[in-house]
Homo-oligomer: A and B are copies of this chain.
């Protein structure tokens, strides 16, 4: 088998995905069993375009690694590329295998979400079926926290910390005037409500906001929403609502659909945005009080300046475990986290077959949502609490963050 390794990043950005990249490179450099460490620019697309670079020249000091770990989005670039079924058309696989041969690749690591794990599964399956020994390992990341078989996913904790902190700040901002108001905060999460649920952590700081949380796991009804908000305005001066971008009506259609473009990504997902703005108009028309909507937008996945120290540490660690799995002869697996205990918070690392993870979406369990469907339970809070703990280091110059780059 090949002596070198190749690593790539795929899917949407997170604050922690470069920490996993760093963790894997650190482990590969120190193990003494791997030759050259290559990175593919723009994920699997970079392999197809032969856009591959050697990483060691960019990582010469501990400071280089630390900057990489505190740089948002993908330092190696990303793609959203779905490999075809190789049994139908193996031309791309032949090309990939050729490139792997050219670079003498024995280990391939791919950091991504459940769509990216589909690439890991197919590549591993192809190599196995063609007696080609390449150890293919997926490294999980997603702000959505919707990966199967793992207690949680690197990237989620930092996004949750951003959401909870912003909830606190927005809640203070919305309560300065002695006037009734409603503030609607729209949070990412196409199909799973984990990140919207994390807004609840703001209550730990003593306040009562957010007062209502709407997750995609519960059928959304705009009349019930108006009724919920109206009831609250009787006792709460400044109502703060957390709503997932992906809430759906009982018929399964996205509540925000009327406001959407018809753009669909290569995995068939609809591009969503707009439920917050829509509900703002509903409140204005049907309740009539001061109302504002806030879309946390991409900041919730790229605000490395407020990332969770716990998350970055776990992201780095899971990158290290991925390399260990490969060195131990595993392939077609994904390192995952199991929660050993909450007090103290303790995680153990293990692995699962990529088939159990690829293309699945882990939803918020119904038992962690209140019967009214507009809040989450104490068990959910208990689950979320440790994931945002700790403030990551800040590296700044002239008041601005310093980022790592593989360019130039």
A residues near B (Cβ < 8 Å) are 9, 13, 41-42, 45, 71-74, 77-80, 161, 164-166, 168-170, 172-178, 201-202, 204-206, 261, 284, 292, 294-295, 297-299, 301-306, 308, 310, 385, 388-391, 394, 396-403, 405
Contact = CB atoms under 8 A, between A and B. Distances in A.
Contacts of A175: 73, 77
Given A77-B178, A308-B399, 6 more contacts: A73-B169, A73-B175, A164-B400, A172-B302, A205-B402, A294-B297
B299 A400 contact: no
Contact of A298 (B73, B292, B390): B292
B261 A177 contact: no
Contact of A78 (B177, B394, B399, B400): B177
Contacts of A13: 172-173, 176
A166 B299 contact: yes
Contacts of A389: 398-399
Identical subunits present? 2
A197 to B, nearest CB: 15
A contact face: mostly helix, strand, loop, or mixed: mixed
Contacts of A298: 169-170, 173-174, 292, 294
A306 B304 contact: no
A391 B398 contact: no
A299 B42 CA distance: 31
Scoring A292, A305, A405 by chain B CB atoms within 10 A of each residue's CB, the highest score goes to: A305
A400 B176 contact: no
A140 B50 CA distance: 57
A145 B342 CA distance: 47
A165 to B, nearest CB: 6
